[in-house]
Amino acid sequence: MTIQESTTARPAGRPRSEKAEKAIIEATLDLIAEGMGVSELSIEAIASRAGVGKTTIYRRWSNKEDLVVDALATLRAPLPPLLQESVRDDLIVLLEVIRKEAGESRGRCVMNIAMSEADRYPRLMERFMKRAVEPRKLAMRGTLERGVASGELRPDLDVDLAMAMLSGTMMHHTKWAPAGDLPADLPERIVDAVIAGIGPQS
């Protein structure tokens, strides 16, 4: 084989690697969505569903917990950039992420099943929370603290309580609202209702 043949042949393997990784992640999520809890999930079952060998999985993940953490994390979209011009607008952006995810029926099902085993797999859930949830909490906290500093929100604001009011109200709708997509204006309505109470007092 010539040097030119060698260098042009290498990239061809990369798409196959990415394809296998995606297949493994999707197989993991599919099996959980079908009702297989984390305790029942096995590398063998995932490999069979993904159409790969177990060694292909173990080359990427050292154990089932690592794989499940990565699979669950794919259900959480990256946060969009915040303009940091208006606290109200940035809070709406943060809640809109949750609203869109609520429309993903498979994602909701997977998270419900996985979270039901949080007591049995505390380390797994701790790692998932740190990777996928903490960045969102930090973004919301930073937005609220910026609002206090700028005078857009009341100076004596209980930031933790405000975070619970905003995210908790949205989560209530994702769990208990009638079936179907949540209203497009829901994040805006929630933010406006909460700001009416935590905004600067006239």
pLDDT single digits (tens) 142-169? 999 999 999 999 999 999 999 999 999 9
Average pLDDT over residues 41-57: 96
pTM of the complete model: 0.80
- Examine the pLDDT at 30 and tell me if it is beyond 70: yes
Q: Is the pLDDT at 103 greater than 90, yes or no?
A: no
Distance in angstroms (rounded) separating the CA atoms of residues 39 and 150:
48
* Residues written for the chain: 202
For residue 30, give both structure tokens.
């599919």
pLDDT tens-place string over residues 180-196 = 678 999 999 999 999 99
Residue closest to 139 by CA, chosen among 77, 76, 84, 70: 84
- The candidate with the shortest Cα–Cα distance to 41, out of 107, 138, 110, is 110
Residue 59 Cα to chain centre, angstroms: 25
Residue bearing the bigger pLDDT, 107 or 188? 188
Give residue 9's pLDDT band: very low, low, confident or very high (50, 70, 90). Answer: very low
The mean pLDDT of the chain is 88
Angle at the Cα of 35 (from 37 to 180), degrees rounded to 5? Answer: 125
- pLDDT tens string 73-98: 999 888 899 999 999 999 999 999 99
Res 202: pLDDT = 65
pLDDT of residue 23: 96
Which carries the bigger pLDDT value, residue 118 or residue 41? Answer: 41
1: pLDDT strictly greater than 80:
no
State the pLDDT confidence band at 5, using cuts at 50, 70 and 90.
Answer: very low
- Map tokens 């949205």 to a residue: 170
If one compares 77 and 60, the residue with the highest pLDDT of the two is: 60
